Each structure stands twice: as C-alpha cells, then as structure tokens.
Amino acid sequence: AQTVTQSQPEMSVQEAETVTLSCTYDTSESDYYLFWYKQPPSRQMILVIRQEAYKQQNATENRFSVNFQKAAKSFSLKISDSQLGDAAMYFCAYEWDSGYALNFGKGTSLLVTP
Amino acid sequence: GAVVSQHPSRVICKSGTSVKIECRSLDFQATTMFWYRQFPKQSLMLMATSNEGSKATYEQGVEKDKFLINHASLTLSTLTVTSAHPEDSSFYICSARDPWAGGPGETQYFGPGTRLLVL
C-alpha cells in the first residue's frame, strides 16, 4: 500500500518570505502522480500543483514550486513570496492511476504572519 | 473549470435517523466518484469508490450497510448515513473524475463538502 507522510504538523512563515513543506511517500510503482492541495478554512480542496513521476522537471505554478526527488521518494512544496491568503492546511497526495482515489498525507497547517 | 456540488452543505440530525448527501457533477459526466470523510484537524480518509451503474467499493473498516452509496447516473452519487450516531459526525467530501479531462493524473474535482452533526 502506498503511504504519504507529512512530518510537519504546523509551519509558520512571515509574509513575503519563502517556506518549504515536506512530503515523503512510499510506493513500488514507477509511474504515478503527486499533488499538493490547499484546504482553507472553507474546507474546499484546491489543487495547488501536480507532478507526473515520469517527468524529471519540477513543476511550477507561479509562486509555488516543487522539489521532486524520485529516488528519495520526496516531494516538497516551496511557496515563495508568501501571502496572508496562503494560510491553510496543505495536503500532499499520491495517485497511482485514474481509477484510484487520492491517498493523502496528514497535512501541514501553514500560518502566515504579517 | 469543472464544478462538483454537494447538498446539503451542513445538516443536523437526531441519533438513529438517516441522512442522504448528494454529490453532483454540474458540467461533466463522472464515471467515477469518491467519498471521503474528514474529522477535525485530520486528513481526508477514503470511504468508498463509486462507479456509475455498479456497486461501490468500500475501504476496509467502512461499514457498507451503514454508509450506502448509490451512483445511479453519470452526474449524481449519493451517500446515505443510515441510523446515524454521534460518532458519525464528520465532514464528508466527494470528488468526481471527468473521463474526458485527460489521462491518469488529471485533476479530481472536489465538492465543497457536507458537515454532518448527529445529536
């Protein structure tokens, strides 16, 4: 079974600074997909960024980027120029195939201070 | 982007009653929908996978007789919590997959969730 581990229950960052959220996973598959989701207080799940395992290039979406280390099974999220609106729970997730559900980590609560 | 709705957004019921939660894909047909449960300050835990026209596949530890899932059409899946008890109080989230959106790894579209409180 695939497991996703987020070892940081809480993180704090000052506005305009950079923060990195960690995620590791365990799988025996060679092709899979990794995601970071944001869950604000409204609890609506919002996709932040997606990475295909077969792609060596790290995904980026504006201020959000990932450091994908396939051999180490590590998938960290870097948020640059943090904004107050970035405060939320962040979940790392793994997907093997489209017929399967997402497997989520326990989440990291991100606090952004002025 | 694709929209998934859930109804109701929040519901309070008495212990022993049943509650039905609807999950609809508004602008696409979803062959597969997923139901998750999220307790406060915890992660999303998959309850079951719902495929249109067939029986749902439940995760280990989820009582299929208690959490009835019906995926009767390509745009609607329902979760019925039967004989609800206070320990069933939780946040229930559905997600739907658009088979035309692309290959594996394409986004699952999440509903806004339903907050259930059983008194």
> Which amino acid is residue A96, in one-letter code?
W
Q: What is the dihedral of CA B89, B74, A36, B10, to 10 degrees?
A: -30
- Provide, as residue numbers in chain A, all residues whose Cβ is less than 8 Å from the Cβ of B108: 101-102
Q: Could you list the pLDDT tens digit for every one of the 119 residues in chain B?
A: 689 999 999 999 999 999 999 999 998 998 889 999 999 889 999 999 998 888 899 999 999 999 999 988 999 999 999 999 999 999 999 999 887 776 666 678 999 999 999 99
d(CA A65, CA B1): 22
Residue spans of alpha helices (H) in B1-119: none
Q: What are phi and psi of B87, to 5 degrees?
A: -70, -10
Find which of A45, A51, A109 to mutate to test the B interface (most B CBs within 10 Å of its CB): A45
Whether residue A98 and residue B103 make contact (CB cut-off 8 A), yes or no, is yes
d(CA B32, CA B108): 10
d(CA B77, CA B57): 13
* Closest by Cβ to A101, choosing from B46, B91, B113: B46
In this structure, are residues B18 and B3 in contact, taking their beta carbons and an 8 Å threshold?
Answer: no
**Has residue A31 got a pLDDT over 90?**
no
> What is the token pair recorded at B21?
């939660």
| pLDDT tens digits, one per residue of A66-103 | 999 999 999 999 999 999 999 999 999 999 876 678 99
Residue B46 touches partner A, C-beta closer than 8 Å:
yes
DSSP state of B15: T
